[in-house]
Structure 1
Amino acid sequence: MPPAPTSARAAPLHVLEVVGNAIVGGMETWVERFIARMPRERVRFTALVPAEGPFADKLRALGATVHAVPMADDPSWTSLQTTLALVQAEGVDLLHAHLPRAHVLAGLVGKLAQRPVVATLHGRDIGMFDLEVHRATGSHLAVVCRQSYFHALSVGVSPEDVTCVPNGVDTAMFSPRPRGRSSLREALGLAQQTPLLGFVGRLSPEKAPDVFLRAAQALRTRCPEARAVMVGDGPMQQSLMAQAEQLGLTGWLHFLGLRDDMPAIFSELDVVASTSHSEAMPLALMEAMASGLPVVATRVGGVPDLVEHGRTGWLAAPDDSGDIAARCALLLADAALREAMGRRSRQRVVEHFDLGECVQRMGKLLDRLVPPAPPAAANVVARQFLRQS
């Protein structure tokens, strides 16, 4: 594991994580793991979230101070005033935003308080709103895959203002486990030798879970002895359950909902499929590979950076449920192929996408963006603004 970033800074950097959502998703997981892994002698964290709930509780359990502040694409005066007062009163050194509504709030407050702002863009494209905020406030953009980096350059972002920090996975938490008796198969009433295909992700349009259902229908014809599970929840859950019934998948495909034991779940699966229309660097796919599983994934965003076609799994075109099903069938029918591809999956993630490396790169970026001491003028400007308000 790479060493933690070091710095000659006299006191820990005070970072305000401004998080524009609080659901169970890849972005929220990234924030949790970043806070958990960054040494406290290097950084102390305060977080702004749009509402209280389980996500806020998790951040507090990790040692962050958490405040709930309403966030919208057009921030309210109250949200701006509250955030600016917090930055000034608590001596925040840098604001780190996630999602556009957090970016605009952090960008405006950073401009007023003369604090640096970095926005991590977790999607594959640079949206117009993020681009407008960047141009208006001078925020730095951090992207998570090469496609996003080159897209930023193509829309006019200066190379000095964008950094690629690929996502990372905890390769100790997610690692191959010895195959014993399968408690998941027992719970589902399946024979222990039943081949098991998994979909892991939010049940929302960009993840294309409906394509996974169509692939499962085709796979059932090719591998009737196999079964499939979908792990996650989201706005499409009810329609997907109805679609599964219409496709004749009742009893063959199982909806597991949200799970908090994902390392154990991955150890029960044989193959993982990702059918997304849009991705940057999907954490669920990285976790599956770190767990020693072969994957079949759509060729979108940063996925080709992660999956080596023909070595760690296969890439397919978006919406091509037939090809996805055929690739999954090959893997489910060939234990030796699964083992070889799964071993290479694990090796690739360990060598190139370990969480320690991700944290180290982000730590270096934060150090680069924050000057050794805040300009004295910044305190004057912020105090004047607050007095006038």
Structure 2
Amino acid sequence: MDLPSDSPVRPVPPSPATPAPLHVLEVVGNGIVGGMERCVERLVAGLGGTGDFRFTVLCPSEGDFAERIRAVGGGIGVVPMPEDPPWSSIQMVAAMIAAERVDLVHAHLPNAHLLAGLAARLAGVPAMTTIHGRQVILPDLEIHRLVGSHLSVVCRQSYYHALGLGVDRGRLSLEPNGVDVEAFRPGPRPGDGLRATLGLAPEALLAGFVGRLSPEKAPEVFVRAAALLLQRLPDAHAVLVGEGPMKTQLRDAIAAQGLGARIHVMGGVDDVRPVFHDLDLLVSSSNSEAMPLALMEGMASGLPVVATRVGGVPEIVAHGSTGWLVAPRDYEDLAGRMHQTLTLHELRQRMGQAARTRMERHHRLDEALQRLAERMRLLARPAAAAPSALTVAREPRMAGGTVGGRKTR
């Protein structure tokens, strides 16, 4: 019905159309299930169900990772990702970006960065890559300069290293990892868990390494430290939980020392939470880390930690409060801190509680995902981004009250 021109009633203008979900193409250079791949899985699961984002994931092959992405609602595509991708692959991904109306391409690992960056450039959409290591390596830097991609890093060391290499602040941001503090929390020892499998009593002291059994994680350093520890604590045990290329080598080294009944090498597990409940102490002996998920998940589960002082680990572990930091490859100091923590029950309890509190206050997954969501919106749809998000780079807050070299209150 038409209203008279002088009517006090005016038609209500139609509400602006709800924007379509932001379509993000995640390009992942590995098909295994490790820390980086789990970050992608958590991103798809955490933001894909909000209605604001839609995710398609490209990976080099079918397998467990692809199935896990499907299980959390992401689409999957498979494309080979050699270090030097053929032109046909670049064209194919560019055509996919256009046909599927992708708003943003997000890469992980240098081989994926090159393929994604070139395809996005051809298709005329923005690209970003997350640097999961503690430094920006030369291939990522060269690709960034070639295609103009945005670099997202997960720890302060990576951020300032990138600035030192000449990366422009407007193409650089810090989005640290987070941990699901509801899923990972202190709990009782499971009756049918790791200790039952190993035949250990509930009161036996157990230190654990949880992660990939590969050179950068230095599991052999954990084994050497555990061997020293067991000389001083004959009733204690140590366990490595994970898979990787060093598994057989580690088992052989342990057997050669006659410690097969005390240092245990387990395989990977689908759910690591019961493992944390069975441990008394979590140890990270890595040579290189950025912001390791296993360490954060163990701390959220109420475990004290002993970890090497590498990459972003000092941003997670408060030395003397939530655990101890030691120099990389210093297995003697590692063993000493393990002994100190295991033999002082009250210290172990206090550190475990402080570790849990630190994760709750500073490293929550929901907050980490929100920071990343803001960044992706800003890159894909800058005109529609919230004004508060329109800061070109999130500068890291340093201990001692400075931000980007400026004093803060």
TM-score interval for Structure 1 and Structure 2 normalised by the shorter chain: over 0.9
Mind listing any 5+ residue stretches in structure 1 that lack a counterpart? 1-7, 375-389
Q: Secondary structure at the match of 1:187?
A: helix
Q: What is residue 287 of structure 1 aligned with on the other side?
A: 297
Q: What is residue 266 of structure 2 aligned with on the other side?
A: 256
Q: Where do 1:297-316 residues align within 5 Å?
A: 297-316=307-326
- Scaled by the length of structure 2, the TM-score of the pair is 0.88
Could you tell me which of 363, 366, 371 is aligned with 1:356?
366
Query: Which residue identity does 1:29 align to in structure 2?
Result: R
Q: Where do 1:67-216 residues align within 5 Å?
A: 67-179=77-189, 181=191, 183-216=193-226
User: How far is 1:300 from its partner?
Assistant: 0.2
Q: Aligned residue pairs: how many?
A: 367
Q: Secondary structure at the match of 1:17?
A: strand
Q: What is residue 235 of structure 1 aligned with on the other side?
A: 245
Taking CA–CA contacts closer than 8 Å with sequence separation of 6 or more, which of the two structures ends up with the larger relative contact order? 1
Cα distance change, pair 96–180 in 1 and its aligned pair in 2 (3 A): closer
Q: What are the Cα deviations for residues 98-152 of structure 1, in whole angstroms up to 9, with x where unaligned?
A: 0000000111011111110010010001000000000000000000000000000
Q: Does 1:58 align with 2:68?
A: yes
Q: Does 1:319 align with 2:329?
A: yes
Q: What are the Cα deviations for residues 130-187 of structure 1, in whole angstroms up to 9, with x where unaligned?
A: 0000000000000000000000000000111111100011111110003464632222
Larger gyration radius, structure 1 or structure 2: 2
Percent sequence identity over aligned pairs: 54
Q: What are the Cα deviations for residues 310-355 of structure 1, in whole angstroms up to 9, with x where unaligned?
A: 0000000001001111111111111111110000000001111110
Distance (Å, rounded) in 2 between the aligned partners of 1:155 and 1:216: 39
Cα distance change, pair 9–162 in 1 and its aligned pair in 2 (3 A): farther
User: How far is 1:83 from its partner?
Assistant: 0.6
- Contact kept in structure 1, 2:290 and 2:312, CA below 8 Å: yes
CA RMSD of aligned residues (A): 1.4
Query: Which residue identity does 1:25 align to in structure 2?
Result: G
Could you tell me which of 30, 35, 47 is aligned with 1:26?
35
Mind listing any 5+ residue stretches in structure 2 that lack a counterpart? 1-16, 385-409
Q: What is residue 382 of structure 1 aligned with on the other side?
A: none
- Contact kept in structure 2, 1:181 and 1:192, CA below 8 Å: no
Distance (Å, rounded) in 1 between the aligned partners of 2:78 and 2:305: 38
User: How far is 1:235 from its partner?
Assistant: 0.8
Deviating more after overlay: 133-142 vs 244-253? 244-253
Q: What are the Cα deviations for residues 272-315 of structure 1, in whole angstroms up to 9, with x where unaligned?
A: 00000000000000000000000000000000000000000000
- Scaled by the length of structure 1, the TM-score of the pair is 0.92
Distance (Å, rounded) in 2 between the aligned partners of 1:319 and 1:177: 32
Q: What are the Cα deviations for residues 182-226 of structure 1, in whole angstroms up to 9, with x where unaligned?
A: 632222122221011000010000000010010011010111111
